[in-house]
A and B are shown apart, each in its own frame.
Chain A
C-alpha cells in the first residue's frame, strides 16, 4: 500500500483541488484570449450565470430546500449551497435597512486557493464566476438579483465579500397562445 498517498484517502480535498486548478487554467486561458480584464470579468460572470442555471436544478434535487418566502430565506439557502458545493460556510450579514441587500462573506475562498494576482491583473475579479452563479441560480427560481464583489482577499482585503441585491420578482410567463 505504499503507493496509496494520504491524499488519496481524502477524496474530498483532492476533488476540491481539481476544481480549483481547472478554474485556474480556464482563467489563464481567458487572460490570454482577451486583452483587457474587464472582458474577462464579463466572460466569467456569464459562465457563472450558465452554471447557476444548471446548478439550481442539482441543488433543488439534492438539498430539497423548499420555497423561499423572503430574501432572508434566500440568503440562508445561498449559504447552504456554498457549504454543499464549495465546502465553506460563508456568513451572511450587512443587511441594508430596506432588507433588500445583503453580503455573503467568505473567510477563505476555495476558488482562489493557489492564486496570487500579478500586478497587471489587479482589475481582475478572480472569483467573479460566483457572482454569476448566484444570479443565474436565483433567476431560475424567479428572483432577479444583482451580485457583485465588494472585497477580495486576493486584493489584500481581510475577507471575500459578495454583495447581493434583490431587484424584482419575476412573474410566471404565460406560454404563447394561452390565456
Chain B
C-alpha cells in the first residue's frame, strides 16, 4: 500500500532533519528529538487505534497488544518474540525491522542503526503512556535488520 512509502519517507526525513545540526548538536540531542516525535505520534495514534477495543486486563495484555496489533498497523508484521522477566522488563525481538530492512543485512551501517530506532522507541513509549504504563524504551541492534526493544516499566 502506497501510504506506507510516505510514512517511510517522512521518517527518513525526520531522521535527516534531527541530525542535520552536525557538529553543533550532539548525537544524544538528535536522538532525543526523534524520540520525542515518536512519543507524540504514539500517544495520539494509540488513542485512535484502541477506540473500539475493550479494556486490557493487565500489563502483559497491553504488551501483547503492542506486539501484535500495533506492530502490524505500523510495521506490517508482528513482533517475532516477546520475553519478560515478570518484573516489569519486556524484550521485543523483531527479526526484520522495517526501517532497517532496506539498509543492510549484517554489520554494514551498524553505527547508523540507532538513528532509525529512536522514533520507534518513542512511539512505543507514547502508546504505553496513553494506555497507562509509564516506561523507558531502549533499542539494541547487533546485526541488521534484526533488533530488539527493551521496555522497562516504571512503578510506584
Contact = CB atoms under 8 A, between A and B. Distances in A.
Contacts of A16: 3
A12 B72 CA distance: 12
B9 A3 contact: no
Interface stretch (A48-56, A89-97, A148-156, A165-173): A48-56
Interface string B11-37: 111101100000000000000010011
A3 B62 CA distance: 11
B5 A58 contact: yes
A26 B73 contact: no
Given A2-B54, A25-B41, A47-B13, A15 B1 contact: yes
A29 B37 contact: yes
Contacts of A3: 53-54, 65, 69
A11 B74 CA distance: 10
Interface string A101-137: 0000000000000100000000000000000000000
**B: interface residue count bin:** 35 or more
Given A5-B53, A62-B2, A15 B7 contact: yes
Given A7-B48, A18-B45, A18-B73, A50 B16 contact: yes
Given A2-B54, A18-B73, A51-B10, A29 B33 contact: yes
B44 interface: yes
Contacts of A58: 5
Nearest to B73: A14
B2 A11 contact: no
Contacts of A50: 13, 16
Contacts of B2: 62, 84-85, 87
Contacts of A84: 2
Interface string A46-77: 01001100110010001000000000000000
A19 B74 CA distance: 9
B140 interface: no
B73 A51 contact: no
Interface of A: 2-8, 11-12, 14-19, 21-26, 28-30, 43, 47, 50-51, 54-55, 58, 62, 84-87, 114
16 contacts: A3-B69, A6-B52, A18-B3, A19-B3, A22-B7, A22-B10, A28-B40, A29-B14, A43-B17, A51-B10, A55-B6, A85-B2, A85-B3, A86-B3, A87-B2, A87-B3
